[in-house]
Amino acid sequence: MIKFRSRFEGSWADPKTMHILPTGEWRFQRPLTKAEKCCQCGWCYIFCPTGCIENRGTYFGANLDYCKGCSICAQVCPVAAIRMVREEG
């Protein structure tokens, strides 16, 4: 008797299950958000491919356990509050 664990027929998943593999080690650059400039529009949150942007009250920031440093958040930010900084040291 086979018991299915997934409710899907194919390779779909509930979004929360994305954060199983920590992909932060792949980064060579990280996003830094200037909290004063962040207008909390949520665009970085929507566009982040790994869904690692968190709402931290006064600004939105990346969860570095899952951030791959793709810089999409920096590119879509309408107020240029995010800059990419090289991982060094």
Partner 1 sequence: MAYGATLCRPDVIAAFPITPATSVLEYLYRFSAEGLLDAEMIEAEGENSALSAVMGASAAGARTFTATSSMGLAFMFDAYLAVSGSRLPVVMPLAMREQPMPLTLAAGTSDAFTVKDGGWIQIYVESCQEILDSIIMAYRLAEDKDILLPVNICYLGFYLSYLSQRVEIPAQKEVDAFLAPLKKMQRVKLCLEEPLTFPAEIAPADPVFAEYRYKHCAAMERAKQKWDEIDREFEAAFGRSYGGQIEEYRTEDAEIILLTMESTTGTARVVVDSKRDEGLKVGLIKIRMFRPFPRQRLIEALSCKKAIGVIDRHVCFGWNCGQCFVELKTLLSDLEAPVPLVGFIDGMGGADITKEHIERAVGIIDAAAQGKRVKETAWLALE
For β-strands 29-33 and 82-86, DSSP reports them as antiparallel
One residue of 1, 12, 25, 57 binding partner 1 per CB under 8 A:
12
Q: Which is nearer to partner 1, 14 or 36 (CB)?
A: 14
Q: Is 15 in the site for partner 1 (CB under 8 A)?
A: yes
Q: Does 1 bind partner 1 (CB under 8 A)?
A: no
Q: What distances in angstroms separate CA 77 from CA 16, 17, 39, 50, 74, one per listed residue? A: 24, 26, 10, 16, 5
Q: Which residues bind partner 1 (CB under 8 A)?
A: 2, 4-6, 8-15, 17-18, 20-21
